[in-house]
Amino acid sequence: MIYFDNVTKHYSDHEALSDVTFGIQSGEFVSIVGHSGAGKTTLLRLLLAEDAPTSGAVLFETNNVHHIKASRIPEYRRRIGTIFQDFRLLPNKTAYENVAFAMEAAGRTDEEIRSDVPQVLELVDLAPKALHFPHELSGGEKQRVAIARAIISQPDVLIADEPTGNLDPLNTYDIIQILKKINDMGTTVILTTHNKGVIDALKRRVITMENGKLIRDDREGKYIL
């Protein structure tokens, strides 16, 4: 489904990626680990077509991501949901409205919004807090809203970029369980994390990056750095 083919990325002051090759199959749950500066963020930026490789190719299904016309990029990115460590919620909108806003931006109808938003909030165990604003929610609850917003349009892939970095162990566990549930429903999940406990508990595939190079690809979770 996703394939990085001998991808190298140079910036003016350093080489962010060096000859990286790997594939991710549809329905996989893959964690990408590595210290700061290892190349994790660059991989995600290339997949999202926010940047282009210096050499090599990034493929999504049969399409070279960086040959997609600029006018088609928004359509492409709707196939990839993204959540971040800092939640990025709209502070003046409720949980329900944050999720609904993503549907509105995608051109969905009011009827679809009324039908789908409660269902996805139920999926992330946040239905009772639908009318709460972000400042009224805990960190774990904010991340659940962010997950609901990311999956409301039923993306093929969910990127979770350090989603538990600001959370305590209990909320971390809850968020990982939700990501596993989403994966079990058929969505490909790509997780970046520094949390060794998360990797060890998942027991899923782990790609380890170091200084822009892929140094390990374990089929069952191991965080060895």
CA atoms within 13 A on the CB side of 76: 20
Cβ-Cβ contacts under 8 Å for 107 (sequence gap 6 or more)? none
Tokens of 47: 């997949």
Res 109: pLDDT: 94
In the structure, what pLDDT confidence band is assigned to residue 223 with cuts at 50, 70 and 90?
A: low
Structure confidence by residue, pLDDT tens digits, 115-169: 999 999 999 999 999 999 999 999 999 999 999 999 999 999 999 999 998 899 9
Cα separation, 191 vs 72, in Å, equals 25
Q: What is the DSSP letter of 155?
A: -
Res 100: pLDDT: 97
Number of C-beta neighbours around residue 135 at 10 A? 9
Q: What phi and psi, each to the nearest 5 degrees, are found at residue 173?
A: -60, -45
To the nearest whole number, what is the mean pLDDT of the chain? Answer: 94
Res 224: pLDDT: 64
Q: Are 3 and 63 in contact (CB under 8 A)?
A: no
Three-class SS of residue 36? coil
Residue ranges covered by each domain of the chain = 89-154
pTM of the model: 0.94
